[in-house]
Amino acid sequence: MTILVTGATGNLGRLIIDSLLERGADPRSIVAGARDTTKVADPRVRSVHLDYTDAASVAAAVDGVDTVILVSGSEVGQRVPQHRTVIDAAKAAGVTKFVYTSAPKATSSDLVLAPEHKATEEFIAAAGLPAVILRNNWYTENYAADLARAAETGVLTAGTGDGRVASASRRDFAEAAAVVALEDGHIGEVYELGGDVAWTYSDLAAAFSEITGRPVTFVPVTSDEQVAALRDAGLDEGTAGFVAALDAGIKGGALADTDGTLARLIGRPTTPLVEGLRAVA
């Protein structure tokens, strides 16, 4: 069985390759797809040029592959056509398992990031691919910049209110991708994946305090206040609005659900918040 991992030099893709190897995959069976193959970390795996915007490179990378793990692209606003290029190539190549890293409740969520994932899931279904959908909650590592800022200021500011986030480390989600790629019995499943504990931003501030050794206070703000502050910090109107919309989604509960599915898939508890944050401190 040959497994292609797209975005193989990215934060999640490289960890998926590590997890595949840790779970016994033959390095020769792993294909690392990347725009720049010189950045593929493990020399034991085969690397291929794969650019989501270059259909020919995608078709060549997918040719002869049994399983594709499509790591969702990082270019917001461009992901649907990029993902569709991979979907179309996988269908043409007769791929027997297609794994996609989606977003929580992608087909019904109000989260500002959800529509691109919803469209991608719909294209996967329309293509008739034998698929496994992994709806990943937030990565704990997303808070590295907030942690660094809090270490300097003692303040965590956000528009999330009392909303909860069931985050886990990227390694946890990477292990889940490796499990469903290597094991039988997952095709057709849509897994909502999150950490074992859904925490509030007050909990996040407390975690920052523990790591930095200084008191960190969570200061909730309204969306308008947040946009104004972000613009004052140099962000353009669109980016500031996007960040505020993400926080509004969290406030509304878009990332709060957790039912232990991720822990069951990987066979261990998910990485606790403080431990995940320490890794990026």
Q: What is residue 100's predicted lDDT score, i.e. its pLDDT?
A: 98
Q: What is residue 60's predicted lDDT score, i.e. its pLDDT?
A: 97
Q: What is residue 259's predicted lDDT score, i.e. its pLDDT?
A: 94
The pTM score is: 0.96
**pLDDT 10s per residue in the chain (281 long)?**
899 999 999 999 999 999 999 999 999 999 999 999 999 989 999 999 999 999 999 999 999 999 999 999 988 889 999 999 999 999 999 999 999 999 999 999 999 999 999 999 999 999 999 999 999 999 999 999 999 999 999 999 999 999 999 999 999 999 999 999 999 999 999 999 999 999 999 999 999 999 999 999 999 999 999 999 989 989 898 999 999 999 999 999 999 999 999 999 999 999 999 999 999 98
Q: What is residue 77's predicted lDDT score, i.e. its pLDDT?
A: 84
Give 180-185 contacts, CB < 8 A, sequence gap 24+. Answer: 180/99, 180/132, 180/134, 180/265, 181/3, 181/20, 181/67, 181/69, 181/97, 181/99, 182/3, 182/20, 182/23, 182/24, 182/25
Q: What is residue 75's predicted lDDT score, i.e. its pLDDT?
A: 86
The whole-angstrom separation of Cα 3 and Cα 35 is: 17
Q: What is residue 76's predicted lDDT score, i.e. its pLDDT?
A: 83
Residue entry with tokens 């040029």: 49
Residue entry with tokens 């992901």: 79
The whole-angstrom separation of Cα 204 and Cα 209 is: 9
Given a contact cutoff of 8 angstroms between Cβ atoms, the answer to whether 115 and 245 are in contact is: no
The whole-angstrom separation of Cα 12 and Cα 66 is: 21
The one-letter code for the residue type at 72 is S
Q: What is residue 233's predicted lDDT score, i.e. its pLDDT?
A: 86
Q: Please say whether the dihedral angle defined by the alpha carbons of residues 197, 200, 206 and 211, taken in this order, is positive or negative.
A: positive
Q: What is residue 108's predicted lDDT score, i.e. its pLDDT?
A: 95
Q: What are phi and psi of 149, to 5 degrees?
A: -65, -40
Q: Is 185 exposed, middle or buried (0-12, 13-18, 19+ CB in 10 A)?
A: exposed
Q: What is residue 178's predicted lDDT score, i.e. its pLDDT?
A: 98
